[in-house]
Amino acid sequence: AIMGPSGSGKTTQAVNLARKFLRRGVRARFFNAYEITRRAMSSRAALDEFADCDLVVLDDLFKGAPRPSSSRYDSFFAATTELLWRRYDARAPLIITTERGWHDFVSFDAAFAGRVLECSTRVDCGARDRRLDDQRGVRVSANDAVHA
């Protein structure tokens, strides 16, 4: 899992990693986590599409997810869980990017979180948004954004 705040380079790192696999002949697909989960809620075909490739990049896991109090939360949770378990059960490579930390994986699905921790490498992109740094010429940390 590649973790860090918005603008820290998570997606770029994931895409570059996937490109390395593509050059070696591995079939790779890039999915926005919210979009594929939304599609999976209404169509089994989305689940098959997600499962039917060698390597999957799942970008921005948990971003845009409904709050637990939302009426859509249960179906969103079920679809996301099924997507993740399908990759795990097939022992199929999965690159996840997220703004959240490991505690969110545990609260989302502790059994899955344990398996992810067991067989993955965590990459922390740091606590700054490089897009803001570039635009303003100043260094902005995630803590600054919280207290702004």
Q: Return the half-sphere exposure (C-beta side, CA atoms, 13 A cut-off) of residue 53.
A: 21
pLDDT in tens, 34-89: 888 888 888 888 888 887 889 999 999 888 888 878 888 888 888 888 888 888 88
pLDDT in tens, 91-129: 888 899 988 887 887 887 788 788 777 777 777 776 666
Contact criterion met (CB below 8 Å) for 6 and 125: no
Output the pTM of the full model: 0.76
Half-sphere exposure of 73 (CA within 13 A, CB side): 7
* Residues 83/47, Cβ–Cβ less than 8 Å: yes
Residue 148 — pLDDT band, cuts 50, 70, 90? very low
